[in-house]
């Protein structure tokens, strides 16, 4: 039976390149000359640690980071911006986790959306991915097209298409 997998993975090298390009652009910008700016990527914990002089500069750093990430091919939803900026002495800090893998709740939403669509496919949750199987490849392609309309807040990739 044909099948494919929904995954949400982030390439570490691409993420690292986006962070390095952001650092380079911020250090070369005139409005950041002489400012305290720290942009650090913790690859093991998949978190970004940001520090800036003010809330406004923090917002600018995040805007540059997202735009450079999108140019590298990463979706903006990769960054979990739910945590707020907090003051620490003379600087403001922010920790931004990088989403990698599909959380159990999101996987359940994907399976529910597939079942509600009425398509003739089966969906199964497997660790941090969702496997979709069907009798025809055309059915699987319909699921992929339908999934592009879903607003889940996570970037989805489609891998392991087998016929």
Q: Does the pLDDT at position 125 exceed 90?
A: yes
Model pLDDT, residue 119: 87
Give me the pLDDT at residue 88, please.
86
Contact 124, 107 (CB under 8 A): no
The pLDDT assigned to 89 comes to 86
Per-domain residue ranges of the chain? 3-8+101-162, 12-97
Show Cβ contacts of residue 119 under 8 Å, excluding neighbours closer than 6 positions: 134, 139, 142, 143, 146
> What pLDDT, on the 0 to 100 scale, is given for residue 94?
94
Q: What is the pLDDT of residues 15-50, one digit of tens each?
A: 999 999 999 999 999 999 989 999 999 999 999 999
Question: How is domain 12-97 classified at the architecture level of CATH?
Answer: 2-Layer Sandwich (3.30)
CATH for 3-8+101-162 is: 3.30.70.860
Fold match between 3-8+101-162 and 12-97? Answer: yes
- At residue 150, the pLDDT reads 86
* Tens digits of residue pLDDT in 92-123: 999 999 988 898 999 999 999 999 888 899 99
Looking at every residue in the chain, the average pLDDT score rounds to 91
Listed in sequence order, the residues at least 6 apart from 28 whose beta carbon sits closer than 8 Å to its beta carbon are none
């Amino acid at each position: 039976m044909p099948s494919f997998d929904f995954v949400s993975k982030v390439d570490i090298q691409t993420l690292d390149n986006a962070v390095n390009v952001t650092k380079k652009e911020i250090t070369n910008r005139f409005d950041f000359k002489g400012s305290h700016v720290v942009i650090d990527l913790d690859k093991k914990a998949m978190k970004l640690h940001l520090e800036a002089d003010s809330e406004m500069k923090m917002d600018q750093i995040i805007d540059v980071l997202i735009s450079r990430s999108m140019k590298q091919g990463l979706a903006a939803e990769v960054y979990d911006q739910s945590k707020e900026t907090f003051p620490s002495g003379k600087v403001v800090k922010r920790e931004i986790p990088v989403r990698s893998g599909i959380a159990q709740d999101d996987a359940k939403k994907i399976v529910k959306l597939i079942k509600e669509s009425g398509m003739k496919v089966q969906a199964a949750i497997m660790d941090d991915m969702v496997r979709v199987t069907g009798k025809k490849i055309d059915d699987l392609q319909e699921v992929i097209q339908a999934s592009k309309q879903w607003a889940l807040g996570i970037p989805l990739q489609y891998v392991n298409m087998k016929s």
